[in-house]
Amino acid sequence: MLKENIMKINIILIVAIAIISFMLTGCGSDSNAERPTPQVSFSIIAAGQNPQSGTFENRKIEIFRDQESLNLSLSKYLQLLSEQHTIDFTSTQAVLINIGVRDTGGFSVKTESIEEFPSYIKMKIKITKPGQNCTVTGALTSPYEFIEIFSTKELIFEESLEIDQCI
């Protein structure tokens, strides 16, 4: 009987040690948590509050993979292209972010960062909206941004909304 009790205690100890060891391995530091996410370089091609063509569009995100379609879209937003913005689409892509027609001023869109992951890149976009304390124009606006991204990986988008309190 004493041997049986000792065996039971040994089994319980072994199981307890195994459980504690398993739990402690989950508490170790995550090597990925300490490393910042790599950033992808980008530049603003054009940005504004209204398309110069006077034609307002609904909210949209458009990805350009060739020069012709980029130029066509840019011509709707900028009446005078002082010089054509040429992109090497073998290593770069362009994106239009248009938050659509708004009935007042005070709205804006801004690319905050572009993060690189193994099989895609994430574009973080911040949309700003005027709060109730803001004085804004009564004109229609359609804030937009054309961005050149120095990567050809698949894009996903993350949007955030900030309300400007104008205090």
| pTM, entire model | 0.75
Q: What is the mean pLDDT of residues 55-83?
A: 86
Q: Report residue 162: phi and psi, to 5°.
A: -120, 135
The residue among 166 and 129 whose pLDDT is bigger is: 129
What is the token pair recorded at 40? 């992808």
Q: Report residue 36: phi and psi, to 5°.
A: -70, 150
Give domain status of residue 94, yes or no.
yes
pLDDT, one tens digit per residue, over 103-143 is 999 999 999 999 999 999 999 999 999 999 899 988 899 99
Q: Which domain holds residue 52?
A: 42-164
Number of domains forming the structure of the chain: 1
Give domain status of residue 36, yes or no.
no
